[in-house]
Amino acid sequence: MTPFGTRLHAAMAERGRLCVGVDPHAALLREWGLDDDVAGLERFALTTVEALAPICAVLKPQSAFFERFGSRGVAVLERVVLEARAAGALVLLDIKRGDIGSTSQAYADAYLDPASPLACDAVTLSPYLGLGSLDPFVETARRHGAGVFLLALTSNKEGAEVQHAVGADGLRVADRVLAHLSALNEGAEPLGSFGAVVGATISAPVTGPAFDLDFGGPVLAPGFGAQGGTVADLQRIFGSSSAHVLASSSRDVLRLGPDPVAMAEAVHGLHDQLAVLA
């Protein structure tokens, strides 16, 4: 199977550098005039897929908003993954899992093995049980041509206390995560399959050098758009690596639903803004 990094590189060249989150939280369902139940969830999610999957490089369902409805919500998530991929979008499932041993392998099988009804193109992971704990995900991703995105430098104010922490060897935690990704992506062309999550609104570190974001893989940059991130921010943060950035936005697009035309027009407008990163 063609590696995820190769497929993502082609999708961004063809469809632009925007990832749209599919985040059916209760407040947004109400804004759409929907009830906060499985029927409302289904209409919201499938309307979004129908409007956006044919024109977006990547859709990013947030698993938690489906899981809160139990098995019926997960069944809707399965349809979202299937129909989005059938329409040509890559699906990055936002799960932020992180575990060890056989449990880590079970999660990897659930989300990256094509035999699973939840199989998608890539997932988000937390590396904070140790980078070696992610080996089952890495090996499963390689075997099935899938990808992973590790939380590296997030925009939430609490993130820095862990991600900027300095170890006994003088390396910051985020430096170690980024170096690990660089090793995983070694030799991959045109783009590695192992990416990082780096917020579109992060500030420069208070102490120490800038983080090296040239690690040969893609960057998911949440916070673009309504949360304050701009194209100028992406250029400031990523510099020469900005061509590998997949900017993620949800609210700017989803708040225009359930009108599919308005949602699609918003995506095209964001594509135009991001074109300078190519």
pLDDT score, position 229: 84
Q: Which CATH number does the domain housing residue 72 bear?
A: 3.20.20.70
Identified catalytic residue from 25, 79, 85, 96? 96
Alpha helical stretches, state H, 53-134: 63-67, 70-86, 101-112
Residue at 80: amino acid letter:
V
pLDDT score, position 243: 87
pLDDT score, position 227: 75
CA 45 – CA 108 distance, rounded (Å): 24
CA 191 – CA 170 distance, rounded (Å): 29
pLDDT score, position 1: 84
Annotated catalytic residue 157: no
pLDDT score, position 278: 67
CA 221 – CA 238 distance, rounded (Å): 10
Number of compact structural domains in the chain: 1
The whole-number mean pLDDT for each consecutive block of 10 residues of the chain, a chain of 278 residues, reads: 96 97 96 98 98 98 98 98 98 96 97 97 97 97 98 92 92 96 97 97 80 95 85 90 92 95 97 88
Domain range for 252 is 4-277
Q: Output the pTM of the full model.
A: 0.96
pLDDT, one tens digit per residue, over 81-96 is 999 999 999 999 999 9
- DSSP letters spanning 28-52: HHHHTT--SSHHHHHHHHHHHHHHH
pLDDT score, position 76: 98
Phi, then psi, of 250 in degrees rounded to 5: -125, -60
User: Percent of the chain at pLDDT above 90?
Assistant: 87
pLDDT score, position 228: 79
In this structure, are residues 235 and 211 in contact, taking their beta carbons and an 8 Å threshold?
A: no
